[in-house]
Amino acid sequence: PVTDDQLRAVELLKSSKRILLTGHERPDGDCVGSQAALACALGAAGKSVFVMNVDAPAPVFSELTALADFRVDSGESLPEHDLVVMLDGGDLSRTGALHDRLARAPSRKLVVDHHLHDGAAWWDEAFVDTSASATGVLVRRLCAHLGAEISPGAARAIFTTLVTDTGWFKYSNTDVETLSIAAEMISLGVRPAEVYGDLFQRQPLQHPLKLAGALARTTYFADGKIVLLDLPLGPDGLAMDVDSDVALDVVRSVEAVEVALVVREIGPRRCKLSARSKGAFDVQKLAALFGGGGHVKAAGATIELNLQDARSQLVEAALVRLAETEERRSTPRTAADAARQP
Ligand code: 5GP
Ligand code: MN
Ligand code: MN
């Protein structure tokens, strides 16, 4: 069923001429794919569209960034536009350094997203569905109203959003709509094995050893119910370039593990948390304690502490929340337990 907020989002898109698409820091496949697909649909509808991110998308997304006018923020004033659309995030702080300029821009604002938000509303319209597996699902729903056919490139972009946020259809957010859209994208020419190869099989020779080095830092707490990997800056001052999702997949394969935490040092007194839950443990609430957010089963935060302090505060908080989760488990299940991930 088409909701009112969806129709208002479509109206806002249709009544705008020059549209700026943005998203969260270190944009992932859902963010970049949603931007690329919506840019294609709006472009086909005659709009002038550009994408502005605070961080450059990773090179594995080059097929998608070639589809539209993708720009990286240089800190200068924003080009003229009459609508901002933020995809795959609703809190303006997630746009990093773009935050102030976007907040001050006189343009109208639209959020298209599948996260829980608790910050102040800064938008004119929000098309948010936390039950959607990926923001790309919402973009597909919008495309249905914009009139244009989905191009092969846009199909690949939408397919990328789905596989990114469902862990290639493994996570509990995988549902009928996700798989229906995936099938539709394949019928439009997407070749899943080719997308998989481009996203996951283009690592350099050193990759296995780097991953082994990261995995060697595995520490368990609470009989293995909590697992933590802390990834320090290298001697070159660079963050360890191991994909957190890959490391998280390995440690989550341990039967005892209920919650997996990767905390990566990304600068002086600055760490990035990626948290995943296999069951009732709510990592969104854990991440929120550190100023982050996300979903019940997949969440993250940027923590302004050194690695050692971030690590010890995280473990302490996770142990408290684990005890609370176990207490709740002995009482009847709540609706929150049945909630979804990415
Ligand atoms: P990841 O661990 O893959 O970076 O992110 C997992 C989920 O947590 C994503 O849905 C993402 O939106 C959310 N998330 C990651 N980092 C942050 C953050 O710094 N702040 C907030 N609010 N959410 C985050
Ligand atoms: Mn994302
Ligand atoms: Mn997402």
Q: Whose CA is nearest to atom 18 of ligand 1?
A: 301
Mention the CATH class of domain 4-200: alpha beta
- How is residue 127 annotated by DSSP? E
Ligand 1 atom with the shortest distance to the CA of 302:
19
Tens-digit pLDDT profile for residues 141-184: 999 999 889 999 999 999 999 999 999 999 999 999 999 999 99
What sign does the CA torsion over 62, 96, 241, 302 have? Answer: negative
In the chain, which residues fall in CATH 3.10.310.30? Answer: 207-338
Q: What is the pLDDT of residue 144?
A: 93
- How is residue 207 annotated by DSSP? H
Q: How far is the CA of 141 from the centre of ligand 2 (A)?
A: 18
Nearest to 54 by CA among 20, 19, 105, 16: 20
Least confident span in 37-46, 244-253, 274-283, 324-333: 324-333
Q: Between 3.40.50.720, 3.10.310.30, 3.40.50.150, 1.10.3210.10, what CATH number should domain 207-338 receive?
A: 3.10.310.30
Q: What is the pLDDT of residue 338?
A: 56
Nearest to 57 by CA among 85, 79, 25, 86: 25
Mean pLDDT of the chain, nearest integer: 94
Torsion, Cα 285 290 293 298, to 10 degrees, reads -70
In the chain, which residues fall in CATH 3.90.1640.10? Answer: 4-200
Q: Whose CA is nearest to atom 15 of ligand 1?
A: 300
d(CA 94, CA 102): 12
Pocket of ligand 1 (CB under 6 A): 91, 94, 115, 244, 274, 292-295, 298-302, 342
Tens-digit pLDDT profile for residues 310-322: 999 999 999 999 9
